Chain A
Amino acid sequence: MDPQQIQDIPAFRQLANERTRFGAGMSIGMAAAYFSYILTIAFWPRLLGLPLWNGTVITWGFLIGVGLIALGFVLTAVYVRRANSRFDHLSQRLLEEVQ
């Protein structure tokens, strides 16, 4: 089938819209978390130097830093999971419809 026609099929529109929206949402989430961290360092670095609890040398900055690294991985995993199930399923359905 001609690609020009495929793009008008509702199943294709649904796939493209869902994936674009999901990808955009995830990247905005990741960028927002990262830039909040960068701005905290720029404007309120002391916040990150507060100890996690009384008497420890470990600071909030460590927890947040490691948390941000973990967030990057978790968001990646969430995207892959959704793409492998939902998007691949939609894509498969579309292919069957086209052929």
Chain B
Amino acid sequence: MISRQICGPLLATAFALLSDPARADALTSAVGTRQSLSVTAILMFLGFVAVSLGVTFWAARQGTSTAKDFYAAGGGLKGFQNGLAIAGDYTSAATFLGVTALVYTSGYDGMIYAIGFLVGFPMILFLIAEPLRNLGRYTFADVAAYRLSEVPVRAIAGANTLVIVVFYLIAQMVGAGKLIQLLFGLPYIYAVGIVGGLMMVYVTFGGMLATTWVQIIKAVLLMSGSALMSFLILWHFGFSLEALFREAVTLHPKAAAIMAPGGLVKDPISAMSLGLALIFGTAGLPHILMRFFTVRNARDARTSVLVATGFISVFYSLLFVLGFGAIALVSANPRFSDAAGGLTGGVNMVALHLADAVGGSLLLGFISAVAFATILAVVSGLTLAGASAASHDLYARVIRRGRASEHEEVLVSKAAVVAISLLSMGLGLVFENQNIAFMVGLVFAIAASANFPVILLSIVWPDLTTRGAVSGSLAGLLTSVGLVALSPGVWTATLKLGPAPFPYDNPALVSVPLAFAVSWAVSVLDRSTAAALVRASFGAQHVRAQTGMGIE
């Protein structure tokens, strides 16, 4: 740690690069009231920003004017590259810091979340990855619109995507703002501005290619950072897990209880509901599904999932070592506790204190920069997914009914990136002091209820009709959003309206089966001529889904 006199100007320079230089002075003066800064953290942060802007510049020179370049990085990524990018897209700073913090406070319970976040990936491969690649071009709505009537299907899929993207971005923005505020001592508003501004630049100028490389760099940094920390922790304990766990059990107030499931899962209904949202939600996340269109064929799509699953499995297993390492090495160290006896900066900072404890200020700086890179990679992927839904699905196909030129579509897409970035920055400021713990759960519930059933049914069920798909998706969206609004997490904790009308925090156990049931019932009852045509064209779709015949 060094004095603020040196850091102030450095940070001011960092910020001046990104925004109005005249504001830098205001920033310098504000830093004094905040946490002291690590010069390594700032240098590494600047290094990452420089490299990522370099990548964006390079990607922009490769061209982002065609739809295929902008949405799908030209469609020629290798399976391995795409797998790494998926891992980078999926592992957010919230999971890195949050799961470590959860293990730190409750031990074993952290593993339940870690496993839930992972199991969705094999499901994507077994159920939808190959047909998705063979049928779609840029967004998952392409798949449902392959034989169903395009306008209604894209309208609802585009709306779902935007809802998911906006909620997910708010969650990431608020987390990012608070994290950067703590890491670099920046005021919240500047932190949100930097994140929003950088993601806007990456995505508008570099499209999918820049986003992909930001995600790949981040995945490699995050993996090596967590592997290095785990290595240092295990080294400290003579590479004996037994010794590490024993020390943690000795130091933790809950003692041996941290080695078994505790109070995280309250009742069987909540447990099943959360499980359902996690296992099927991943297969309905638009920014993850979009990545499958960046590879050439189904074979590369499979490799992508294998590589992503491998990286994510190792990463989540390492988080466990980190969490227990933090109990053993951070909890008893007075250097990391504040006057009240709590952890300095709150429990979410425990991964950073751990970096300091095992590797000193150099590792602290590195891990801080990694956390920052992690945020940027995730928000960029989300923004691009939102923009593709707004331009490819809603503007080009629903509003202009396919009459928009490709050039126009890409321009609208770039405008949408700017709009989504500004909106998410604004909402990030509005939600600064709100309780938003429910948002990530809500995103997974919407993805599992409104997107996953339609994608799966349109691939495997010949009798699905347009009316069935649209009403099922709408039922899933409205039920999941409605029940979350009536749940304890929103009704009681956020809106403060007293006891919640719907007693469970996660709606998936109701909304997922309901979406399937509505799709089925409406399709079966649909006797229109359009329905007959749609059913008759399943054969052609099935051939292409299975063989990839005819894909570009």
Chain A positions within 8 Å of B, measured between CB atoms, are 3-4, 6-7, 12, 15-16, 19-20, 23-24, 26-27, 30-31, 34-35, 37-39, 41-43, 45-46, 48-49, 56-59, 61-62, 65-66, 68-70, 72-73, 75-77, 79-80, 83-84, 88, 91, 94-95
Query: How far is it, in angstroms, between the C-alpha of A97 and the C-alpha of B259 when the chains are bound?
Result: 58
B260–A80 contact, CB under 8 A? no
B543–A77 contact, CB under 8 A? no
Question: Between A and B, how many residue pairs show CB distances below 8 Å?
Answer: 158
- The answer to whether B111 has its CB under 8 Å from any CB of chain A is yes
Query: How far is it, in angstroms, between the C-alpha of A74 and the C-alpha of B548 when the chains are bound?
Result: 26
B122–A57 contact, CB under 8 A? no
- The answer to whether B267 has its CB under 8 Å from any CB of chain A is yes
- The answer to whether B549 has its CB under 8 Å from any CB of chain A is yes
Q: Which residues of B contact A77 (CB under 8 A)?
A: 306
User: With A38-B275, A61-B108 given, is the CB distance from A12 to B260 under 8 Å?
Assistant: no
Report B213-252 residues with CB < 8 Å from chain A CB: 241-242, 245-246, 249
B245–A3 contact, CB under 8 A? no
Would you give 13 A-B contacts (Cβ < 8 Å), ordered by A?
A7-B539, A16-B542, A23-B126, A31-B123, A34-B116, A49-B261, A58-B259, A62-B111, A69-B118, A72-B119, A73-B313, A76-B122, A76-B305
Q: Which residues of B contact A39 (CB under 8 A)?
A: 268, 271-272
B118–A41 contact, CB under 8 A? no
A80–B125 contact, CB under 8 A? yes
- The answer to whether B11 has its CB under 8 Å from any CB of chain A is no
Contact with A along B524-552 (1 / 0, CB 8 A): 00000000000000011011101111000
B547–A57 contact, CB under 8 A? no
B127–A43 contact, CB under 8 A? no
- The answer to whether B256 has its CB under 8 Å from any CB of chain A is yes
Q: Which residues of B contact A23 (CB under 8 A)?
A: 126-127
A57–B126 contact, CB under 8 A? no
A80–B261 contact, CB under 8 A? no
Chain B positions within 8 Å of A, measured between CB atoms, are 108, 111-112, 114-116, 118-119, 121-123, 125-127, 130, 241-242, 245-246, 249, 256-257, 259-262, 265, 267-268, 271-272, 274-275, 279, 298-299, 302-303, 305-306, 309-310, 313, 316-317, 460, 539-540, 542-544, 546-549
Q: Which of A4, A19, A27, A61 contacts B540 (CB 8 A)?
A: A4
A95–B546 contact, CB under 8 A? no
Q: Which of B114, B125, B548 contacts A76 (CB 8 A)?
A: B125
A45–B242 contact, CB under 8 A? no
B546–A72 contact, CB under 8 A? no
B242–A58 contact, CB under 8 A? yes
A62 → B minimal CB distance (Å) = 7
A27–B127 contact, CB under 8 A? yes
Q: Which of A15, A45, A72, A76 contacts B261 (CB 8 A)?
A: A45
Closest to B274 in A: A38
In this complex, which of A12, A19, A59, A73 has the most chain B Cβ atoms within 10 angstroms of its Cβ?
Answer: A73
A46 → B minimal CB distance (Å) = 7
Query: How far is it, in angstroms, between the C-alpha of A8 and the C-alpha of B274 when the chains are bound?
Result: 42
Q: Which residues of B contact A91 (CB under 8 A)?
A: 546-548
